[in-house]
Amino acid sequence: MTAGQGCIQCGVCCERWGWNQKGVVDDLIPWIAHNRKDILQHVRIRYSDGRKASGTGVSGADLDHITRIYYWQDHKGKAMRKCPFFSRSDDGKAWCGIHAVKPRVCREFTPWNWKNLEYYGSCPACREKAP
């Protein structure tokens, strides 16, 4: 998040957009290196030969053959309607369970810098910039 912006950790972005996102290969590198099967089990990968498989089987040798990365899937390989790493504490505050290694799509979620008005009505940090 950009310094000076008023993100209040409401969690709306994780709840509304934290699923059905596309990943990038760089996201996978630390997860493979640190054997983060807890994350990779929720990743679906399409390879250049057309095969689709769970992220649990991916290795560094596969990285050049990946054509698409999907977040997030359940244990049966079905797309989830909610990010499995999202939670709320009793006081309602939103938490990311993989904050230190979350994917780029989450790290770079700064809708106040974008022209896309889709987010302005839902993200409190954007509202003061709304037209």
| Complete DSSP assignment for 96-113 | ETTGGG--HHHHT--GGG
Residues 88-107 that bind ligand SF4 (CB under 6 A): 96, 98, 102, 106
Burial of 10: CB neighbours in 10 Å, binned 0-12, 13-18, 19+: middle
Q: Does 31 bind ligand SF4 (CB under 6 A)?
A: no
Binding mask 67-86 toward ligand SF4 (x if CB under 6 A, else -) reads ----------------x-xx
Q: Which residues, at least 6 apart from 118, have a Cβ–Cβ distance to it below 8 Å?
A: none
Q: How far is the CB of 7 from ligand SF4 (least distance, A)?
A: 3
Q: Which of 30, 124, 129, 130 binds ligand SF4 (CB under 6 A)?
A: 124
Per-position b or e across 46-61, b if 16+ CB within 10 A of its CB? eeeeeeeebbeebeee
Q: CB of 111: closest distance to ligand SF4 in angstroms?
A: 7
User: In the complex, which residues of this chain contact ligand SF4 (CB under 6 A)?
Assistant: 7-14, 18, 83, 85-86, 96, 98, 102, 106, 123-125
